[in-house]
Amino acid sequence: MTGDISNARISFDDVRVGFGAGKKRKEVIDGVSFDLGPGEFVSVLGPSGCGKSTLLNMAAGFPATDSGEVRFDGERITRPESRRGVVFQQYAIFPWLTVEKNIAFGLTLKSNRRSRSEIDETVRRYIDLMGLGGFEKALPKELSGGMRQRVALARAYATDPDVLLLDEPFAALDAQTREFMQELLHEASRAERRATLLITHSVEEAIYLSHRIVVLGNRPTSVHEVIDVDVPWPRTPQSRLQPEFLEVRGHLEGVMRPLSGSTLRKAQT
């Protein structure tokens, strides 16, 4: 199942991150390797503070790696580009633009410029895919948190990225909205078939959405284990009650509990 190195879209190769130099150096991420294959949905699951967002930022191209490298289609990632779409945990849609202008934003930039009719068509498509019909002219301040993240997803999809990078996009939402958003994202990613990397600390979310889950351990962070999720595809709200789902969930919660606990203890001392 693990994507063959040669056709992986994103590959993390022995990534290390630390602060300080020489003897004082403290490793935060200590050798993380895994691949994201074409069309694959992979979740990175880990306790808070383990550096999972740092991994996503590297894949996006925000900071460079200290050592080891993150490659995109075989090339070292050095800067952000629209072929790798990003959705952040914080609301990052532009508050001064309407919903449709937010979604069109990437397509009006020089690096990705499309014709007016193409833009309209794309915006229409993602408005529909994300269930935003009727809110085209709305400003972000008029939208709920869940709607804002739907706009953010639509905006990321609109530039036609090869890879989608999602940094805990639903973490700020209430439980009910989260479940709804997971279902919406699952439908969207089935329709879009783009390689997607999701950072999350929710076991349930990771199982519901992923082909594969990369479980990270505590600081210094390394890959604790990689799990193939065998819950039948496509997933529906009923999947959450299937024995395969519950089995993976039981296993992951067992793995995560001691990991989260020790982070907590460390944070308290």
Partner 1 sequence: MQALRRTLLPFVGFALVIALWWLTAVSGVVGERNLPTPAAVLDAGWTGLTTPDGLLVDIRLSVLRVLIGVVVGCALSLPLGFLLAWFPTTRAMFDPIVSFCRALPPISLSPLVIIYLGIGEDARLFVLIWAAFFASVVVLYEGIAAVDDIYVRAGRALGASEFEIFRRVIVPATVPQMFVAVRVALGVSWATLVAAELIAAQRGPGWSIQRAASFFRTEDVYAGIILIGFSALLMDMGVRLVQRRAVSWQERVVR
Contact positions vs partner 1 (CB under 8 A): 60-62, 79-82, 84-86, 88, 90, 92-97, 105-106, 109-112, 139-141, 155-156, 159
Residue 64 DSSP symbol: P
Q: What token pair was written down for 130? A: 């994300």
Q: Of 63 and 261, which has the nearer Cβ to partner 1?
A: 63
Q: What token pair was written down for 66? A: 């200290």
Q: Of 147 and 252, which has the nearer Cβ to partner 1?
A: 147
b (16+ CB within 10 A) / e for 217-249: bbbbbbbbeebebebeeebeeebbeeeebeebb
Q: Of 98 and 239, which has the nearer Cβ to partner 1?
A: 98
Minimum Å gap between C-beta 125 and partner 1 is: 17
Instruction: At 4, give phi and psi (nearest 5°).
Output: -60, 135
Helices 175-192 and 145-158 pack at an angle, to 10 degrees, of 20
Minimum Å gap between C-beta 159 and partner 1 is: 6
Q: Of 137 and 266, which has the nearer Cβ to partner 1?
A: 137
Q: Of 164 and 227, which has the nearer Cβ to partner 1?
A: 164
Minimum Å gap between C-beta 113 and partner 1 is: 10
Query: Are the beta carbons of 257 and 218 closer than 8 angstroms?
Result: no
Minimum Å gap between C-beta 176 and partner 1 is: 24
Q: Is 41 exposed, middle or buried (0-12, 13-18, 19+ CB in 10 A)?
A: buried
Minimum Å gap between C-beta 174 and partner 1 is: 19
Helices 116-129 and 175-192 pack at an angle, to 10 degrees, of 130
Minimum Å gap between C-beta 155 and partner 1 is: 7
Q: Of 55 and 231, which has the nearer Cβ to partner 1?
A: 55
